[in-house]
Amino acid sequence: MPVSETRTLPEARVPSVRRRPVLEALAQTARDPWTIVSVLVLLGFVAMAVFASWFAGDPQAIDPANRLKAAGVVGIWGTDHLGRDVFSRAMYGARMSLVVGLSVAFLTAVPGVAIGVFAGMSRFGGAVVMRLIDAMMAIPAVLLAIALAALLQPGLLTVIIAIAIPEIPRMVRLVRSVVLSVRQQPFVDAAVSVGTRGPKLIFRHILPNTVAPVIVQATYAAASAIIASAILSFLGVGTPPDVPSWGGMMADARKFFQFYPMLMVYPGVLLSLLVLVTNVLGDRLSDALDPRKVRKRG
Amino acid sequence: MLRYAIGRVLAGIPTLLLVAVFIFSLIHLTPGDPAVLLAGDNATPSQVEQIRSRLNLDLPIWEQFGIWFGDAIQMDLGYSIYSGKPVTELILQRVEPTLVLSFVTLVMTVAIAVPLGAVAAWKANSMVDRFAMGFAVAGFSIPVFVIAYVIVYGFAVRWRLFPVQGYKWLADGWLATLHSVTLPSISLALIFAALIARVTRASVLEALSENYVRTAHAKGLGAPRILFVHALKSVGVPVVTVIGIGLATLIGGVVVTESVFNIPGIGRLTVDAITRRDYPVIQGVILFFSTALILINIVVDLSYALIDPRVRG
């Protein structure tokens, strides 16, 4: 019997454990109305971020004569306490949220998968890593993020790192648990018994099984990163104040909130909507990709 | 049981030690010299040197850690750079608002989430269920300060039922305290309830398919009685677990909420310390919150062992 057959056979015999192929699952999710709505809204935000400079005015132009004007009087959504156009600031603000969300998802996934696979494959090293991960998880994520953001040089990169670091332990735990369960499967035993070792075992048999849960977790990480970056801006340790961001707009709006609540409402609604559609997509992906629906939040 | 309890407590010690190392290196390996910062712009090099040696910043880093951790175990977290007061005193002064806020939030959360989750499971896939789970996803998605401002605008600015901000100490009467923490607690509870409602729904759904529920139906018991007496009993353990896990999120929310409502709790202390780069306070507060989390999780684990003998094994 050729080697390739011994390798494919056991895989085919454990259909309940093999997760469904990613593409097939995605195709099925794509027919769900809520998924379609979420994807469309998300694309809207992407368009808002990419084309902001085409249709929105200068978000930085200060106009002292037209401070705190109501919507429609000056600009589409009025002006803030410096006379800046709220609509164009809100449109440009989508850039910051999307950049932070995507970067954190990526920066959580890559180290998370690397460390998680290591922790799952190495008995002793895994125990050491998991102790460290437990300790990191004992520190409240928002506290860790604001401490990191305040202590490092202020800037966008700092905010992204400060938010990504507390997210990594969750990803590591998830990947490790997947690796541990995949390692028990007969197809891995079969691969090992025909001499598959080291990197080939990991890349061909272990890693493909982590793809689906990692995509789901990275989507949740993006959603919570968007909230976290708004919280950082709100507390005054976020992205630079000269770059428009929804969190920064809300921080500015605090002082005028009782008389001009709409300054808080526009960025707040956009922010919540973006996070909402990201979370809905995460849930749909989770349902589609993982029959056991592990949802790790917290 | 005792053996399990001792083992669980001992297992917490290395975690706590690692957390301490982590928090310490976080502050000491990041750029910026606290001595220079503290001395101000017009300080002479010798003044900076003096401050450096007063704060032990001239010692090797591992010795600094030894001194700091040795003192921390004895409840001495050093002195605030900004106010000169002992960090432990600053924290203790501000424990009350944070504890009251967290406690009221937890009570409200359970009061909102458990009935909501139970009814959603009972009427699974109905409109009620969809509404409840939609609320849950929204709870995950809306930042706590956005909810907080919406609530403040309605209940404090428009209808003037509650104060816009501030905190009344328990010493001035607990009703006033409760009145002052109502809005912040509701804001936090709406977020936290999302998590608990999901878990409650999942565990009630599971319980409803159990044999004893079918037996209860067969005996002719009414639906509400089965739902709230029989099925809800099995919800205790998962809900306690998720409250334990969610506390880290709750602490983050408390920090933000105290800032929105101007409540003089530990969260405000943290934010103030961070804007002033008050290193001893930052270290002390994060260590305090992390220790509290570790201890609470030990208590949560021990409480399962009491409820469910299988855990002790």
Mean pLDDT in residue range B227-243: 77
A298·B164 Cβ contact <8 A: no
Give yes or no for a contact between A33 and A56, defined as CB atoms under 8 angstroms apart: no
CA distance B221 to chain A (A): 33
How many Cα atoms within 13 Å fall on the side-chain side of residue B40? 5
**pLDDT value at A236 more than 90:** no
Find chain A residues with C-beta within 8 A of B289's C-beta.
139-140, 143
* Angle at which helices B174-208 and B236-261 cross, to 10°: 140
Give yes or no for a contact between B79 and B86, defined as CB atoms under 8 angstroms apart: yes
**pLDDT value at A182 more than 50:** yes
Q: Is residue A158 part of a domain?
A: yes
pLDDT digits (tens, 9 = 90+) for B284-304: 899 999 998 888 888 888 877
Find chain B residues with C-beta within 8 A of A235's C-beta.
255-256, 259, 271, 274
**pLDDT value at B103 more than 50:** yes
Task: Name the one residue in this structure whose structure tokens are 């951790």.
Answer: B69
B140·A223 Cβ contact <8 A: yes
A258·B19 Cβ contact <8 A: no
B12: enclosing H helix or E strand: helix B2-28
Residue B31's pLDDT is what? 67
Find chain B residues with C-beta within 8 A of A286's C-beta.
none
CA distance B223 to chain A (A): 29
A143·B140 Cβ contact <8 A: no
Q: Return phi, psi of residue B247, to 5°.
A: -60, -35
CA distance B74 to B78: 11
Residue A117's pLDDT is what? 92
Strand partners, A56: none
Angle at B156 between CA B153 and CA B160, to 5 degrees: 130
Find chain B residues with C-beta within 8 A of A275's C-beta.
140-143
A176 CB-contact burial (10 Å; exposed 0-12 / middle 13-18 / buried 19+): buried
Find chain A residues with C-beta within 8 A of B294's C-beta.
138
Q: How many domains does chain A divide into?
A: 1
Residue B107's pLDDT is what? 92
Q: Is residue A128 part of a domain?
A: yes
CA distance B59 to A121: 40
A276·B294 Cβ contact <8 A: no
A151·B23 Cβ contact <8 A: no
Neighbours of B13 (CB within 10 A): 10
A143·B259 Cβ contact <8 A: no
Which residues, at least 6 apart from B135, have a Cβ–Cβ distance to it below 8 Å?
B116, B194, B197
**pLDDT value at B11 more than 50:** yes
Q: Is residue A259 part of a domain?
A: yes
Ramachandran region, residue A229 (left: φ > 0; alpha: ψ -120 to 50; beta: rest): alpha
Residue B282's pLDDT is what? 87
**At CB < 8 Å, which residues of chain A contact B?**
131-132, 134-144, 146-148, 150-153, 223, 227, 230-231, 234-237, 250, 257-258, 261, 264, 268, 271-272, 275-276, 278-280, 283, 295, 297-298
Q: Is residue A222 part of a domain?
A: yes
SS3 content of chain B, % helix, strand, coil (to 5): 80, 0, 20
DSSP per residue, B273-284: HHHTT-HHHHHH
Query: Tokens representing B284?
Result: 């002390």
Angle at A109 between CA A104 and CA A110, to 5 degrees: 105
Residue A40's pLDDT is what? 93
CA distance B4 to B205: 31
pLDDT digits (tens, 9 = 90+) for B236-272: 777 888 887 788 888 888 989 998 898 999 999 998 8
User: Considering CB atoms only, which of A143, A236, A283 is closest to B289?
Assistant: A143
**With helix as H, strand as E and coil as C, how does chain A read?**
CCHHHHHHHHHHCCCCCCCCCHHHHHHHHCCCHHHHHHHHHHHHHHHHHHHHHHHCCCCCCCCHHHCCCCCCCCCCCCECCCCCEHHHHHHHHHHHHHHHHHHHHHHHHHHHHHHHHHHHHCHHHHHHHHHHHHHHHCCCHHHHHHHHHHHCCCCHHHHHHHHHHHHHHHHHHHHHHHHHHHHCCHHHHHHHHCCCCHHHHHHHHHHHHHHHHHHHHHHHHHHHHHHHHHHHHHHCCCCCCCCCCHHHHHHHHHHHCCCCCHHHHHHHHHHHHHHHHHHHHHHHHHHHHCCCCCCCCC
How many Cα atoms within 13 Å fall on the side-chain side of residue B94? 23
Biggest CA–CA distance in chain B, Å, is 86
Strand partners, B73: none
The CATH number linked to A228 is 1.10.3720.10
Find chain B residues with C-beta within 8 A of A241's C-beta.
none
pLDDT digits (tens, 9 = 90+) for B61-81: 888 888 888 888 888 888 887
Q: Is residue A101 part of a domain?
A: yes
Q: Is residue A32 part of a domain?
A: no
Residue A29's pLDDT is what? 72
Q: Is residue A103 part of a domain?
A: yes
CA distance B172 to chain A (A): 28
* Angle at which helices B279-307 and B266-275 cross, to 10°: 150
Residue A5's pLDDT is what? 31
Grade residue A290 by pLDDT with cuts at 50, 70 and 90: low
B286·A139 Cβ contact <8 A: yes
Find chain A residues with C-beta within 8 A of B241's C-beta.
none
Mean pLDDT in residue range A204-213: 85
Query: Tokens representing A124?
Result: 């002793």
Residue A271: closest CA among chain B residues belongs to which residue? Answer: B142
Residue B199's pLDDT is what? 85
Mutate to test the interface with B, among A128, A146, A224, A272 (most CBs of B within 10 A): A146
CA distance A268 to chain B (A): 6
**pLDDT value at A31 more than 60:** yes
User: Considering CB atoms only, which of B251, B256, B285 is closest to A231?
Assistant: B256
CA distance A47 to A91: 10
Mean pLDDT of chain B: 84
Q: Return phi, psi of residue B138, to 5°.
A: -60, -40
CA distance A48 to A180: 42
User: Considering CB atoms only, which of A138, A148, A150 is closest to B290?
Assistant: A138
Query: Tokens representing B67?
Result: 């001194």
B30·A139 Cβ contact <8 A: no
Which residues, at least 6 apart from B93, have a Cβ–Cβ distance to it below 8 Å?
none
Q: Return phi, psi of residue B200, to 5°.
A: -60, -45
Find chain B residues with C-beta within 8 A of A287's C-beta.
none
pLDDT digits (tens, 9 = 90+) for A238-259: 888 778 899 888 888 888 887 7
B149·A280 Cβ contact <8 A: no
- CB contacts < 8 Å between A and B, how many? 145
Mean pLDDT in residue range B146-175: 85
Grade residue A271 by pLDDT with cuts at 50, 70 and 90: very high
Q: Which domain covers residue A204, as residue numbers?
A: 90-291
A234·B249 Cβ contact <8 A: no
Instruction: Please report, for residues A106, A274, B138, B233, the alpha-carbon distance to residue A271 in angstroms, rounded to integers and kept in the order given.
Output: 20, 5, 12, 38
pLDDT digits (tens, 9 = 90+) for B30-58: 666 667 766 666 777 887 888 777 777 77
Residue B274: closest CA among chain A residues belongs to which residue? Answer: A150
Which residues, at least 6 apart from A274, have a Cβ–Cβ distance to it below 8 Å?
A41, A42, A45, A94, A97, A98, A101, A226
**pLDDT value at A8 more than 70:** no
Query: Tokens representing B6?
Result: 């001792």
Residue B245: closest CA among chain A residues belongs to which residue? Answer: A298
Angle at B128 between CA B125 and CA B134, to 5 degrees: 85
pLDDT digits (tens, 9 = 90+) for A138-181: 888 888 888 888 888 788 898 999 999 999 999 999 999 889 88
**pLDDT value at A3 more than 80:** no
Q: Return phi, psi of residue B46, to 5°.
A: -70, -35
Q: Is residue A297 part of a domain?
A: no
Residue A54's pLDDT is what? 82
pLDDT digits (tens, 9 = 90+) for B113-152: 988 888 888 888 888 888 888 888 888 888 888 888 888 8
Query: Tokens representing B42?
Result: 């017009």
Neighbours of B311 (CB within 10 A): 14
**pLDDT value at A6 more than 50:** no
DSSP state of B115: H
Grade residue B109 by pLDDT with cuts at 50, 70 and 90: very high
A298·B249 Cβ contact <8 A: yes
Residue B313's pLDDT is what? 53
Residue A125's pLDDT is what? 86
CA distance B118 to A85: 46
Instruction: Please report, for residues A120, B48, B79, B84, the alpha-carbon distance to residue B43 in angstroms, rounded to integers and kept in the order given.
Output: 53, 7, 20, 18
The b-or-e profile of B239-278 (16+ CB within 10 A means b, else e) is bbbbbbbbbbbbbbbbbbbbbbbebbbbbbbbbbbbebbb
